[in-house]
């Protein structure tokens, strides 16, 4: 049984309770009073990027729409501008809840695979934890080639003037593509992260089982 089906089984009809227990800051969801100030304040909503604004997501959680919420791309679109937190009359930490739901969906393997924010987050984390330094060239190339070779070349050509400019200004080193620079104690960093992973993994596993 996958983690997803196991948890769905565990909470059955009570998706709100599942969110409260599994999602960071999820216990705030019940306090939403549906005023819609968060939705109105969200800068991404001006471009209709959100399938479901926060207020609606909260309502869907209460209505038990588990599949729709967890597979939604909405919470991945949050830019962490904190407008909603500042304005929420009920003081809900909406930004954190969005990230919490996104993380939970990712944990269950239900998050949309190629959602750009999610993809970039993974890419960035892998990139910077590998050497302890962010390799900007590899990071941007990775993002360019996200949707395949053709799309990547096209995207690269579009940005070539910027890249040449950066080269001339010595802000871009093409040799970074091979290895790249590292932090002083690469091993130490990785050992630290390993320990952190372990702690988190055991905590979440306990939560999901408990």
Footprint of another protein (CB under 8 A): 16, 30-31, 33-34, 55-56, 59-60, 62-63, 65, 90
CA distance 146 to 123: 10
Nearest residue (CB) to another protein, 85 versus 139? 85
Residue among 151, 133, 132 at smallest CA distance from 141: 151
Quote the strand ranges of 24-180, DSSP E: none
Q: For another protein, give the closer residue by CB, 54 or 132.
A: 54
CB of 107 to another protein, least distance (A): 24
Indicate the residue among 10 and 30 with the shorter CB distance to another protein: 30
Cβ-based nearer residue to another protein, 75 or 189? 75
Residue environment code for 17-42, b if the CB has 16+ CB neighbours within 10 A, otherwise e: bbbbbbbebbebbeebeeeebbbebb
CB of 62 to another protein, least distance (A): 5
Assess contact for 32 and 92: CB atoms under 8 A: yes
Nearest to 61 by CA among 37, 91, 107, 97: 97
For another protein, the closer CB: 53 or 132? 53
> What is the total residue count of the chain?
210
Question: How near is the Cβ of 72 to another protein at its closest, in Å?
Answer: 13
Minimum CB distance to another protein, residue 29 (Å): 10
Minimum CB–partner distance for residue 27 and another protein (Å): 9
Q: Can you tell me the distance from the alpha carbon of 192 to that of 199, in angstroms, rounded to the nearest whole number? A: 11
């Amino acid at each position: 049984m996958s983690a997803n089906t196991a948890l769905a089984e565990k909470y059955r009809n009570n998706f709100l309770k599942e969110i409260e227990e599994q999602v960071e800051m999820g216990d705030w969801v019940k306090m939403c009073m549906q005023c819609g100030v968060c939705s109105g304040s969200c800068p991404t909503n001006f471009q209709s990027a959100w399938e479901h604004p926060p207020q609606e997501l909260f309502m869907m959680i209460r209505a038990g729409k588990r599949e729709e919420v967890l597979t939604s791309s909405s919470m991945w679109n949050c830019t962490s501008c904190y407008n909603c937190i500042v304005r929420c009359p009920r003081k809900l930490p909406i930004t954190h809840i969005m990230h919490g739901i996104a993380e939970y969906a990712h944990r269950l393997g239900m998050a949309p695979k190629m959602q750009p924010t999610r993809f970039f987050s993974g890419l960035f984390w892998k990139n910077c934890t590998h050497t302890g330094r962010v390799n900007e060239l590899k990071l941007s190339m990775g993002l360019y080639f996200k949707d395949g070779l053709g799309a990547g070349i096209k995207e690269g050509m579009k940005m070539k003037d910027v890249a040449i400019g950066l080269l001339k200004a010595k802000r871009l080193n093409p040799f970074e593509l091979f290895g790249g620079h590292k932090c002083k104690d690469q091993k130490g960093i990785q050992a630290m992260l390993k320990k952190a992973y372990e702690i988190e993994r055991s905590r979440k596993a306990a939560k999901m089982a408990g």
